[in-house]
Every structure is written in structure tokens, then in C-alpha cells.
Amino acid sequence: MGKICLGIDIGGTTIKIGLVTKDGDLQGKWEIHTDKSENGKNILSDIANKVTLILQEKNLSKDDVIGIGLGVPGPVDDAGNVLGCVNLGWGEFNVADELSKITGLKVKAGNDANVAALGEMWQGGATGRQDVVMLTLGTGVGGGVIVGGKVLGGINGAAGELGHFTMKIGPDAEKCGCGKKGCLETLASATGIVRETNKYLSRVDTPSSLRKIDNISAKNIFDEAKEGDKIAIDMVEQLGEYLGLACSYIAATTNPETFVIGGGVSKAGNILLDVIRKHFRENAFHALKNTGFSLATLGNDAGMIGAAKLIIE
């Protein structure tokens, strides 16, 4: 009987591999480069080689390992079929079966945002909850929906694509990487917040401390809002409107106990939670107004820990 899991989070730049106990304790972590050449055909063998080295380093045999949980940046169905990962160059194939074949270990796979949500539920910002929705505000906007402690995958692995809610319609809506316009991701990702702010600064004459900063970042905007800058406050308010409204739609659909907000943008802290909660409550059905909001706490480890949880279930 195994005693430890491997939780693996495949990203577009690096692959994170964690050794995770049954209790969710991250006992070690490693990183390898994501080789996207030749449509990412080396990714799984690179992972298998690294896993072999890690087990050797830790004096573990394959019998000690419960299995591998894998987070993949794209839709994955319950059987482990990847339905195309644009970032990695992957088409359609069964990633769980494939990795299991070359490692000799049991493998379960899930979408990376869903897996991060599972990690936060298990060991992070939503510990002890079973009905959780996570929104990851980073370069893009990812989502993970957990119902009764299980990731909701949907009929073709596209549940939780919360970054692709159309939140802005009209000529001012920006094109999203997904091909649509006005997605939440174009408004609430780190890049989206910055773009919206630059657009606003060029449209109005209002003085702002932001005008003195070259290459404004999302962090600058929150920092200046905390200092009382009018434009920065308006932009944080606008961000809260989009996110609060989107969360009200999600809550009226699945009625979670709590939302967890993660990703780089969430480092802004309570100013972000407060503004999302305020606009959420304005738009939420009365029975949903007390839905919780908390910050993610696992940072970049959420994917590894959540992936391990996939295999423990």
C-alpha cells in the first residue's frame, strides 16, 4: 500500500513536481522546463525521467507511491482525455493512460485551474469546505468549481471556464485569447486590469499618481488605490463590478459555500476581496448574499497539492 503521491502541475514554462503525503503535506518540490518543441511530445517522458530520479533521491520504491495526479492547462475529461492544450502544442489523447504506461504508476489527470481549486479546498483558503469556487486572476483568468468535494468537470471538461464569461459587449470590448470579445479575462486578468487602466488614463485628464509610473502593473494600481488615488480607486471599483457580477452568476448556478480568489492579482489582499464582495452582494439573490470570499493561500503550490488530491480520492 502506497504512502505518498506525486502531484504534478504542467505549465507553459515549467512543470512542477511535488511529493505529497496522504494528509496533504508537501514534502518536497522540483521543477523542470516545459519542452514545447515538436508539439510537446517530450513532456511526458521528461516527467517520467524526473519522477524516477526523485524516487531514487528519496529512497522510495514504486510500491511506496499511491500514484500521480496531473494538472494540465486545458480541458480534460474524467477518463483523462485531453481535448487539446494550445499552450503545450498537444492535440487530443489520453494523458493519464499515456503517463501511466511509461511510469508504471496509476495516474489521474484534471484541468490545472480545477486542480488548484482542489488544492485550496484541501489545504488552503477553503480548508474544510466541500462546495468551493476558485477564481485565479493571473496572466489569464482561470476557474475551478468544486461540488461536494469533487471537481465539476462537465460533459467535456469545460466546466469552470469562468474567465470566458462575456462581461463587456460593444465596440469597447477587447479581443480575448479564446477568440471571443469582452471575456472576464480581458478585464480581470493582470494584463486586463493594466490595459483598462491605460485606456482610462488616456481618455480622461484627471490627475493621478499612476501617470508618473512607466509600465504600470496591476500591483501599482492596487497600491495607488490604497493611497487614495482617484483613478486607481475607480479602476479597482470597476474590477470589483465585473468580478462581483460574475460571481453572482456562478453562485446562482451552483450555490457554493465560498469563493477563493487566487493568482498574482490576489496578492492585493483584502482591498480586492472587499470590492468583489460589495458588488457580489449588490447582484446576488437574497439566499446567496452570505456566500464567503477568501484569499488563496497556497500560491504556486496549489496545483501540486490539488493534483495529489486527485489520486487520493
Show contacts with its own copies in window 246-265 (CB under 8 A): 246, 248-257
241: Cα separation from own chain's centroid: 20
Size of the site for its own copies (CB under 8 A): 40
Give yes or no for residue 162 binding its own copies (CB under 8 A). yes
Instruction: Candidates 61-69, 88-96, 269-277, 285-293: pick the segment binding its own copies (CB under 8 A).
Output: 285-293
| Residue 181, burial from CB neighbour count under 10 angstroms (0-12, 13-18, 19+) | middle
In angstroms, give the least distance from the CB of 255 to its own copies: 2
Q: CB atoms < 10 A from the CB of 158, how many?
A: 15
Question: Which residue in the set 32, 158, 271, 295 belongs to the binding site for its own copies (CB under 8 A)?
Answer: 158
Q: Quick one: which of 69, 14, 81, 83 has its CA closest to 43? A: 14
Round to whole Å and give the CA distance between 176 and 166. 10
Give yes or no for residue 218 binding its own copies (CB under 8 A). no
In angstroms, give the least distance from the CB of 112 to its own copies: 15
Question: Which residue in the set 27, 56, 166, 206 belongs to the binding site for its own copies (CB under 8 A)?
Answer: 166
Helix (H, G, I), strand (E, B) or coil at 136: strand
Backbone angles phi, psi at 230, to 5 degrees: -60, -50
Helix (H, G, I), strand (E, B) or coil at 295: strand
Question: Which residue in the set 288, 295, 297, 300 belongs to the binding site for its own copies (CB under 8 A)?
Answer: 288
Give yes or no for residue 114 binding its own copies (CB under 8 A). no
Give yes or no for residue 283 binding its own copies (CB under 8 A). yes
Q: Quick one: which of 280, 190, 286, 205 has its CA closest to 244? A: 280
The residue behind cell 471556464 is 161
210 vs 260 by CB, closer to its own copies: 260
- Give the type of residue at 265: V
Instruction: Candidates 21-29, 114-122, 188-196, 241-249: pick the segment binding its own copies (CB under 8 A).
Output: 241-249
Residues that bind its own copies (CB under 8 A): 75, 83, 131, 143, 145, 147, 152-162, 164-166, 178-180, 245-246, 248-257, 283, 285-288
